[in-house]
Each structure stands twice: as structure tokens, then as C-alpha cells.
Amino acid sequence: MNVSKFFMSQKGKVVSKGLVTHKISRAYSKNMYLLPVPKDKITEFGFDISPAHVGNLLNSIDFYVPKDTPIFAAAEGKVIKLLDSSRSKGNTVEYWDKGNFIEIMHSKKESTHYEHLRYKGVKVRICQKVKAGEVIGFSGNTGFTENPHLHFQVNRYVSKDDFVTVKARFANFIDVYKKHKR
């Protein structure tokens, strides 16, 4: 696959749907987070291994783990959005909003977003309060994806509906952004 061409066309389409903005941040998160998957299940990870991590999604991290891996809340917070009814997957942008996901709001205007969960793989409800490290769901391969993985991002809200991703600071893992540089 021609990655740069894919990158350009996907980016163009996504921008036109208003899902990715050109706002970027190079800042680290204000909160400290826990790894959202068991360390020993990770086969590959990185923030710069997906062509979809552009614009305001720049600092997202993909953790390659097998399907049905438990997903942990990265910090305490309140569930604000979720989807778990999707059975669809594909590697075109039409599948962008077909990924099962959870978003949890934390302090300091930061939230964490967990994407590509399995069908019916969400184990929390809207407005539920969760503790750091609590199992919130199970990984899968739904949405805009090729192989099973967890897409993880830390959002910092700049207004009610608008955010940038920031670099996740982990209490129990390496600085992912130093593993690869771009």
C-alpha cells in the first residue's frame, strides 16, 4: 500500500467530515494514566504507526493486543460516551464511526478514549463512575481498522465539544513518544 497516498486521501476525507481538525498539540497530559491494557498482551505499540493519527488525533497510541483482551480505565473518572452495537470493520474511512468505543472524563479537562472494542464489549454505562485500573470492556476489531488493536487517546478539551489530543503520561509504562520520533 502506498502509505503517503492513503494518508492524503484519508486525511482529506476525514477533514471534510469534520472529524479531524488541524489543531495539534505537542504537550503532555496533565494527569498521569495507567496503561489501558495488560503489558504482557502487547505485541506492538506506538503513536506513529497508524496513518489515521493526524491532526487533532496526532498523539493517539495503538496497542496491538489479541481480541478479547481486558481494557482498563486509565484513571478514575466518569463515562461520557460509548458505543458497543457495531459489528463492522474495514480499512476505509466509511468505517470511521463504526468502532465500538468508550470515553471517560477525568480531571483537568482531560478525557481518555478507547476504540475498536468487540461487539457488546463495553462493560460500563453512560455516567458510570469508574476507578483507575477497573475493567471497562474488551478489545476487538470494529471500525476503521485492519488488525485487532486498542486505539487510545487522551483528549484535552479546549471548549465544550472541541479537543486536541495530548501525549499520554503513564505511571506504569515507558514514554511512548520517545520510542519513535517524528
Q: Which residues are catalytic?
A: 149
- Name the closest residue to Zn ion (Cβ): 151
Pick between residue 62 and residue 110 the one whose CB is nearest to Zn ion.
62
> Is residue 50 near Zn ion by the rule CB under 5 A?
yes
The interface region with Zn ion, picked from 21-29, 32-40, 47-55, 76-84 by CB under 5 A, is 47-55
Cβ-Cβ contacts under 8 Å for 54 (sequence gap 6 or more): 7, 11, 14, 20
The interface region with Zn ion, picked from 55-63, 78-86, 132-140, 164-172 by CB under 5 A, is 55-63
Cβ-Cβ contacts under 8 Å for 33 (sequence gap 6 or more): 74, 75, 112, 154, 168, 169, 170, 171
Work out how close the CB of 64 gets to Zn ion at its nearest, in angstroms, rounded to a whole number: 10
Strand runs labelled E in 38-141: 44-46, 61-64, 70-72, 77-83, 89-90, 100-105, 110-122, 129-130, 135-139
The interface region with Zn ion, picked from 8-16, 21-29, 76-84, 150-158 by CB under 5 A, is 150-158
Work out how close the CB of 53 gets to Zn ion at its nearest, in angstroms, rounded to a whole number: 6
> Is residue 151 near Zn ion by the rule CB under 5 A?
yes
| Stretch (H or E) spanning 154 | strand 150-157
> Is residue 112 near Zn ion by the rule CB under 5 A?
no
Work out how close the CB of 59 gets to Zn ion at its nearest, in angstroms, rounded to a whole number: 11
Query: Of these, 31, 37, 62, 136, which contacts Zn ion (CB under 5 A)?
Result: 62
Distance between CA 100 and CA 88 in Å, rounded?
A: 9
Pick between residue 10 and residue 50 the one whose CB is nearest to Zn ion.
50
Pick between residue 72 and residue 152 the one whose CB is nearest to Zn ion.
152
Q: Tell me the three state secondary structure of residue 169.
A: strand
* Cβ-contact 121, 99 below 8 angstroms: no
Which one, of 26, 11, 10, 52, lies nearest residue 164 by Cα? 26
Binding site for Zn ion (CB under 5 A): 50, 60, 62, 151
